[in-house]
Structure 1
C-alpha cells in the first residue's frame, strides 16, 4: 500500500469528521500496488445508515483531504443501504483494503 501511516490516519480522521465514527473506509485501485507509481487515491466509504447530502459530503471529503494531504487526485465512492451497487462498487468492496 502506497500511503504513509500519517496519510492513513489523516484519511480516517477526515472520514469520521464528515460521515461519523461508524463510517468505514477502504483504499482500492493502483495505490494498493507497491510496485506502481503515481495514480490517484481511490477510497470507498461504507455507512451502516442512509446518508443525506451524499454528493456534498463526498466533495467536502475530497477538499478536506486535498488541504491536509496536498493537491492529489482523489476518487471517492460512498455506499450506504440506499445505494444500488454497480461493478465499480463491487470491485472496490472486493479488493479494497480497510484503513
Structure 2
C-alpha cells in the first residue's frame, strides 16, 4: 500500500469527521500496488446505514483531504444500502483494503 501511516490516519480521521464513526474506509486501485508509481488515491467509504447527502459529503471529504494531504487527485466512492452498484463499485468492493 503506497500511503504513509500519517496519510492513513488523516484519511480515516477526515472520513469519520464527515460521514461519522460507523463507516469503513478502504483503499483500492493503483495505490495498492507497491511497485507502481504515481496514481490517484482511490477510496471506498462503506456504510451499513443509509447516508444522507452522499454527494455533498463526498465533496466535503475530497476538499478536506486535498487541504490536509496536498493537492493531489483523490477519487471517492460512497456505498450504502441505497447505492445502485455498477461495475466500478463492485470492483472496488472486491479489491479494496481496509485502512
For these two proteins, the number of residue pairs brought into alignment is: 99
Distance 1:48 1:68 in 2: 27
1:93 aligns with 2:85: no
The residue number in structure 1 matching 2:58 is: 58
C-alpha deviation, 1:17, in angstroms? 0.3
Distance 2:19 2:8 in 1: 16
Distance 1:52 1:22 in 2: 14
Deviations 1:5-54 (A, max 9, x none): 00000000001000000010110000000010000000000011111111
1:19 aligns with 2:22: no
The residue number in structure 2 matching 1:67 is: 67
* TM-score for both structures, normalised by structure 1: 0.98
Deviations 1:41-86 (A, max 9, x none): 0000001111111100000000000000000100000000000111
The residue number in structure 1 matching 2:34 is: 34
Distance 2:15 2:71 in 1: 18
- Stretches (4+) displaced over 2 A: none
CA root-mean-square deviation: 0.5
The answer for unaligned runs of 5 or more in structure 2 is none
* TM-score for both structures, normalised by structure 2: 0.98
The answer for unaligned runs of 5 or more in structure 1 is none
Distance 1:3 1:83 in 2: 27
